[in-house]
Amino acid sequence: MFYRGERPSVHFIGYAAREFAKQGVKPGELAIISKEAVAPYERPALSKAYLFPESPARLPGFHACVGSGGERLLPEWYKEKGIELILSTEIVKADLAGKTLVSAAGESFKYQILIIATGSTVIRLSDFGVQGADAKNIFYLREIDDADELVEAIKAKKNGKAVIVGGGYIGLELGAALRINNLEVTMVYPEPWCMPRLFTSGIAAFYEGYYANKGVKIIKGTVAVGFSANENGEVTEVKLKDGTVLEADIVVVGVGGRPLTTLFKGQVEEQKGGIKTDAFFKTSVPDVYAVGDVATFPLKLYNEDRRVEHVDHARKSAEQAVKAIKASEEGKTIEEYDYLPYFYSRSFDLSWQFYGDNVGDTVLFGDNNPASPKPKFGTYWIKDGKVVGAFLESGTPEENKAIAKVARIKPPVDGLDQLKSEGLAFASKI
């Protein structure tokens, strides 16, 4: 019933397969094509537990759909359901008008309905012509093979020096993971603080302080402009734009990703860097759906079209597309996708969650001293007199539900002082 093309994002397509099984897919109706050699798995594990020195996560432990507390779908599950897994197969050509996909090996696949779940590809420093960026032991973490190579390098360069290029999700999570492996870690990023797309300077100051206390060195306001290598081709130094030269045994680059839409250029309507869809993830081409990172969809809560890069939306959009496909076959309708943006991360002993929109004025509350034995703090975003976003570090499940509710219903607030004094209590009483 659908074929999945191109590259990664195999982690959340398991959620689509599960939804098809719920809806009663018949054996032989559904196929999943993936460049990777393994059945769909939970990609977030790769930058966290997969790299732990003790009791690391390994397959089959994190096959989809355990990431949301669901059943773990092992390769046998797909077989039992009559779902074909076509693995180690890269799609290099898509003819949407002719409903045909062609693999790198020249195989041709005909489909009736296509779900595009190609996700993002990592931005590589070699894309910008950075000198020496193709040296060995410079890593990009996107799929399980990348994580395996990084694990081997961590073992080979025991107690060595690691440089993380980038201060976003990947940078922060890998900075923590490499430090836990007892490497000497330096993080480098051009922005004035970490995670600038989401964090305020107040939130970022806590994490930068916490990481510094864990022995992670942070260099802000500059970028990597070159790398040196030894006679074996292994990286030895990172040269920064400000003239600093850092010794390095391992370099991990996390400077962002790009939606993988190349296969479909000129065949489907695009918007804001992604493939334009409706609230059911239908594209401008009949029988073609797009989900996850590649979809620019109507975000009902804010009455605008957006593209959201996060595993939570990837899972939910995949399920929504499947429900829409089955409803359309049966001549029924389903509710429009009504998504509340949600982001989270875990590193060291920390765990934060964010819901809503990070626009407008902000109020920081709670204990954000990085030296506190049990820090707990949060931030509200206020726009047009309403709370539109909420962030919480070290919240309980109930408290995280409370901030999610606040972000969803956007309650009015008398002023910033009220939020500052009430803090988490404001969310808990809504």
- Could you read off the pLDDT of 331-368 as tens digits, one per residue? 999 999 999 999 999 999 999 999 999 999 999 999 99
- Segment (H or E) for 160: none
CATH number, domain 10-121+258-329, options 3.30.450.20, 3.40.640.10, 3.10.530.10, 3.50.50.60: 3.50.50.60
| Percent of the residues in the chain that have a pLDDT greater than 70, as a whole number | 97
SS3 257: strand
Confidence of residue 6 (pLDDT cuts 50, 70, 90): very low
Q: In the numeric block, which tokens belong to residue 351?
A: 């765990």
**Residue 141: how many CA atoms within 13 Å on its side-chain side?**
29
Question: How far, CA to CA in Å, does 295 sit from each of 16, 30, 214, 255, 308?
Answer: 15, 21, 38, 21, 8
Quick one: pLDDT at residue 11? 57
> Is the peptide bond preceding residue 65 cis, with omega within 30 degrees of 0?
yes
d(CA 242, CA 62): 41
Is it true that 125-255 and 349-428 share their CATH fold?
no
Quick one: pLDDT at residue 304? 97
Quick one: pLDDT at residue 9? 43
Quick one: pLDDT at residue 115? 96
Quick one: pLDDT at residue 401? 98
Q: CB neighbours (10 Å) of residue 207?
A: 27
Residue 373 has pLDDT above 90, yes or no: yes
Q: What is the dihedral of CA 157, 162, 168, 174, to 10 degrees?
A: 30
Q: In the numeric block, which tokens belong to residue 81?
A: 């359901």
Confidence of residue 119 (pLDDT cuts 50, 70, 90): very high
Residue range 349-428 forms a domain whose CATH class is: alpha beta
Of residues 251 and 9, which shows the higher confidence score? Answer: 251
Mean pLDDT of 43-53: 94
Contact (CB, 8 A) for 382 and 363: yes
Mean pLDDT of 22-40: 93
Contact (CB, 8 A) for 365 and 419: yes
| Percent of the residues in the chain that have a pLDDT greater than 90, as a whole number | 94
Residue 10 has pLDDT above 50, yes or no: no
Residues in CB range of 187: below 8 A, 6 or more apart:
163, 164, 166, 167, 171, 172, 175, 194, 211, 216, 217, 218, 219
Which amino acid belongs to residue 202?
Answer: G
Residue 1 has pLDDT above 80, yes or no: no
Question: How far, CA to CA in Å, does 400 sit from each of 86, 98, 392, 406, 420?
Answer: 39, 47, 7, 10, 18
d(CA 125, CA 256): 11
Residue 197 has pLDDT above 70, yes or no: yes
pTM for the full model?
0.94
Residue 37 has pLDDT above 50, yes or no: yes
Quick one: pLDDT at residue 67? 86
Mean pLDDT of 23-51: 93
Q: What is the pLDDT of residues 249-275, one digit of tens each?
A: 999 999 999 999 999 999 999 999 999
d(CA 289, CA 310): 18
* Sequence spans of domains, the chain: 10-121+258-329, 125-255, 349-428
Fold (CATH) for 125-255: FAD/NAD(P)-binding domain (3.50.50)
- Segment (H or E) for 275: strand 274-276
